[in-house]
Structure 1
Amino acid sequence: MATPLLAGKVVLVTGASTGIGRAAAIGAALHGADVAINYHSDDAGAASCVAEIKAFGRLAVAIKGDVADPATATDFITRACDALGKVDVFVNNAGICPFHAFLDMPAETLERTMRVNLHGAYYMVQAAANRMVAQGNGGSIIAVSSISALVGGEYQTHYTPTKAGVHSLMQSAAIALGRHGIRCNSVLPGTILTEINKDDLADEGKRTRMAARVPLGRLGAPEDLAGPIVFLASDLARYVTGAALLVDGGAFVNLQ
Structure 2
Amino acid sequence: MSLLQGKVVCITGASRGIGRACAIESAKQGANCLILHFFGDAETQAEVDTLKNEIEANYSARVVAVPGDIADAATSRNIVDESVKTFGRIDVLVSNVGICPFSEFLSMPHSTWERTRQVNLDGSFYVVQTVANQMKVQTPQGGSIIGISSISALVGGELQCHYAPTKAGVQSLMQSVAVALGKYNIRANAVLPGTIETDINKEDLSDRVKREYMVKRTALGRLGAPDDIAGPVVFLASDLAKYVTGASLLVDGGALANFQ
TM-score of the aligned structures, taking structure 1 as reference length = 0.97
Q: Shift of the alpha carbon at 1:204?
A: 2.5
Distance, in Å, in 2 between the alignment partners of 1:199 and 1:121 is 25
Alignment correspondent of 2:3: 5
Distance, in Å, in 1 between the alignment partners of 2:28 and 2:107 is 45
Distance, in Å, in 2 between the alignment partners of 1:203 and 1:104 is 22
Q: Which residue of 52, 55, 78 corresponds with 2:54?
A: 52
Gaps of 5+ in 2: none
Gaps of 5+ in 1: none
Alignment correspondent of 1:77: 80
Q: Which residue of 162, 168, 174 corresponds with 2:178?
A: 174
Alignment correspondent of 2:12: 14
Alignment correspondent of 2:45: 43
Distance, in Å, in 2 between the alignment partners of 1:57 and 1:204 is 42
1:128 aligns with 2:127: no
Alignment correspondent of 2:247: 243
SS of the aligned residue for 1:254 comes to: coil
Per-residue deviation, residues 183-238 of structure 1 (Å, max 9, x unmatched) = 00000000000010001111233212210110000000001011100000000000
Alignment correspondent of 2:169: 165
Stretches (4+) displaced over 3 A: none
Q: Which residue of 22, 30, 33 corresponds with 1:24?
A: 22
Alignment correspondent of 1:153: 157
Q: What is the CA RMSD across the aligned residues, in angstroms? A: 0.9
Distance, in Å, in 2 between the alignment partners of 1:244 and 1:39 is 25
Per-residue deviation, residues 231-254 of structure 1 (Å, max 9, x unmatched) = 000000000000000000000111
Alignment correspondent of 2:98: 95
Task: Tell me, yes or no, if the aligned pair for 1:11 and 1:87 is still in contact at 8 Å.
Answer: yes
Task: Tell me, yes or no, if the aligned pair for 1:35 and 1:53 is still in contact at 8 Å.
Answer: no
* Paired-residue identity, %: 57
Alignment correspondent of 2:109: 106
Alignment correspondent of 1:232: 236
Q: Shift of the alpha carbon at 1:151?
A: 0.3
TM-score of the aligned structures, taking structure 2 as reference length = 0.96
AA aligned to 1:29 is: A
Distance, in Å, in 2 between the alignment partners of 1:255 and 1:135 is 47
Distance, in Å, in 2 between the alignment partners of 1:197 and 1:37 is 22
1:254 aligns with 2:258: yes
Q: Shift of the alpha carbon at 1:81?
A: 2.3
Alignment correspondent of 2:147: 143
Per-residue deviation, residues 83-121 of structure 1 (Å, max 9, x unmatched) = 222100000000000000000110110000000000000
